[in-house]
Amino acid sequence: MPASETPRKILHVDMDCFYAAIEMRERPELAGRPLAVGGDSGRGVLTTCNYLARTYGCRSAMPAFKARDLCPDLVLLPVRFDLYRAESAKIRAIFADFTEQIEPLSLDEAYLDVSHLRSEAASIAWEIRERIRSQRHLTASAGIAPNKFIAKIASDWRKPDGQFEVAPDEVADFLADLPVEKIWGVGKATATRLHEAGIPTCGAMRERSELELVRRFGKFGSTLYRLCRGIDERTVNPNRERKSVSNERTFRENLHSVDEGLEKLEEILAELRDDLEGRYDEREIRECVVKVKFGDFQTTSAQRAADRVEPEVMRELLAEAWERGQGKSVRLIGAGVRFRPRKKKEDGQMLMF
Report CA-CA distances (Å) from 184 to 150, 200, 227, 253: 10, 15, 8, 36
83 and 144 housed in the same domain: yes
Percent of the chain exceeding pLDDT 70 equals 93
Q: What is the pLDDT of residue 351?
A: 30
Q: What is the pLDDT of residue 185?
A: 83
Q: What is the pLDDT of residue 79?
A: 86
**What pairing do the DSSP bridges indicate for beta strands 102-106 and 109-113?**
antiparallel
Q: How confident is the model at residue 5 (pLDDT cuts 50, 70, 90)?
A: low
Rg of the Cα trace of the chain? 23
Give the CA dihedral 71, 75, 80, 84, nearest 10 degrees.
Answer: -80
Instruction: Provide mean pLDDT across the span 302-327.
Output: 93
Q: What's the whole-number average pLDDT of the chain?
A: 89
Out of 107, 123, 155, pick the residue that ends a domain.
155
Digit-coded pLDDT (tens) for 151-190: 999 999 999 999 999 999 999 999 999 999 999 888 888 8
Question: Residue 350 pLDDT > 50, yes or no?
Answer: no
Question: Residue 145 pLDDT > 90, yes or no?
Answer: yes
45 and 135 housed in the same domain: yes
Check 87, 103, 109, 165 and give the catalytic one.
109
18 and 111 housed in the same domain: yes
User: How far is residue 165's CA from residue 154's CA, in Å, rounded to a whole number?
Assistant: 7
Q: What is the pLDDT of residue 42?
A: 56
First vs last C-alpha separation in the chain: 27
Q: What is the pLDDT of residue 343?
A: 65
Out of 200, 227, 254, pick the residue that ends a domain.
227
Q: What is the pLDDT of residue 344?
A: 54
DSSP state of 168: G
CATH of the domain at 298: 3.30.1490.100
Q: What share of the chain is helix, strand, coil (3-state, %, to 5)?
A: 40, 25, 35
148 and 181 housed in the same domain: no
**What pairing do the DSSP bridges indicate for beta strands 343-346 and 349-352?**
antiparallel
Phi and psi, residue 115, nearest 5°:
-60, -30
Q: How many CB atoms lie within 10 A of CB 83?
A: 13
User: How far is residue 286's CA from residue 306's CA, in Å, rounded to a whole number?
Assistant: 5
The domain tally of the chain equals: 3
52 and 146 housed in the same domain: yes
Question: Residue 115 pLDDT > 50, yes or no?
Answer: yes
**Is 109 an active-site residue?**
yes
Lowest mean pLDDT among 152-161, 174-183, 197-206, 335-344: 335-344
180 and 86 housed in the same domain: no
User: How far is residue 136's CA from residue 82's CA, in Å, rounded to a whole number?
Assistant: 16
- The answer to whether residue 164 sits within a structural domain is no
Instruction: Provide mean pLDDT across the span 268-273.
Output: 85
Percent of the chain exceeding pLDDT 90 equals 69
Higher-pLDDT residue of 57, 41: 57
CATH of the domain at 199: 1.10.150.20
Q: Is the Cβ–Cβ distance between 8 and 149 less than 8 Å? A: no
pTM: 0.73
- The answer to whether residue 350 sits within a structural domain is no
Residues whose CB falls within 8 Å of the CB of residue 168, separated by 6 or more in sequence, listed in order:
1, 7, 146
Q: How confident is the model at residue 4 (pLDDT cuts 50, 70, 90)?
A: very low
188 and 257 housed in the same domain: no
Instruction: Provide mean pLDDT across the span 219-239.
Output: 93
Q: What is the pLDDT of residue 277?
A: 75
48 lies in which domain range? 11-155
Q: What is the pLDDT of residue 278?
A: 61
Q: What is the pLDDT of residue 349?
A: 37
136 and 191 housed in the same domain: no
Q: What is the pLDDT of residue 347?
A: 38
Digit-coded pLDDT (tens) for 56-112: 999 987 888 899 999 999 999 998 888 998 999 999 999 999 999 999 988 899 999
Q: What is the pLDDT of residue 221?
A: 93
Q: How confident is the model at residue 43 (pLDDT cuts 50, 70, 90)?
A: low
Q: What is the pLDDT of residue 348?
A: 38
Q: How confident is the model at residue 345 (pLDDT cuts 50, 70, 90)?
A: very low
